Structure 1
């Protein structure tokens, strides 16, 4: 157990015939007591500072751990957001591809229908043209016949009377 200033103060030495000067020893002991008290005070102050610094170091270590955890959580959140964005982008791309396929298929179907309609119209135009040509040829043939007359056609022509004609 270490000495205290009180132990030093209360220490008594045995006396001998040719011993040290008691006043000088007492003065020296008083000086030792003062210095020892100062050292003890300084030691306590240093210990208090050390505890304060250790407390600050622990506080900073806690902050460091918290920041590290926060960084890890932020990184994980960023990675998760990145993965979600990638998935969403893939879904958007798939949806766009489906829509593009649908639009292409619809366009192809419309194109086929228009082509079929166009072919049908061409056929109908050819049929109409052929029939019209046949009709015209039949009419020309009738006109070219020399024995053409109204009686064959059973047509009756009516002419207005003179008094009905207006001038």
Structure 2
């Protein structure tokens, strides 16, 4: 067990005949006691400082470990977000391609339908033209016919009715 300042203070030396001067020894011991007490205090303070610094070091080590884990988690989250964004972009692209194909196919079908309708309208226009021409020719023939003069006899009236009937039959067939 180490000496304490009290041990040094209470130390008694045996006396001899030509021994040391007692006052000088006591004075020296008092000086040793003061220095020893100062060293003990300083040692205690340094021990307290070491404990405080060790506590701070542990605190910062915990913070460092937490930050490292946080950085790893953030990196993993960023990678996951990036991968999810890529997957979503691919899905959007596939959906857009499907929609584009559908729109193109619908447009082509509509274009074919319109082309068929145009051809049908051309045929109908041609038929109408032929019928209209036949109607006009029949009317011109009626006008050129001398039967206008003999309307009272009823013959011209019958011929006109027959011509009109013929025109209607032509138009109904087309």
On whether the aligned pair clears a TM of 0.5, the verdict is: yes
Query: How does 1:1-167 map onto structure 2 within 5 Å?
Result: 1-13=1-13, 15-140=15-140, 151=155, 154=158
Spell out, residue by residue over 1:57-116, the C-alpha distance to the aligned partner (whole angstroms, 9 max, x if none): 111111121122112212222222222222222222222222222222212211111111
More displaced, 113-122 or 59-68? 59-68
Contact 2:147–2:155, Cα closer than 8 Å, also in 1: no
More displaced, 17-26 or 4-13? 4-13
Higher fraction of helix:
2
More displaced, 147-156 or 35-44? 147-156
Give the C-alpha shift of residue 29 in structure 1: 1.3
TM-score (norm 2): 0.73
Aligned residues: 156
Give the C-alpha shift of residue 39 in structure 1: 0.5
TM-score (norm 1): 0.76
**What is the RMSD of the two structures over their aligned residues, measured on CA atoms?**
2.8
- Aligned equivalents of 1:154 and 1:39: distance in 2? 152
- Aligned equivalents of 2:136 and 2:56: distance in 1? 115
Q: Which runs of 5+ in 2 are unaligned?
A: 161-174
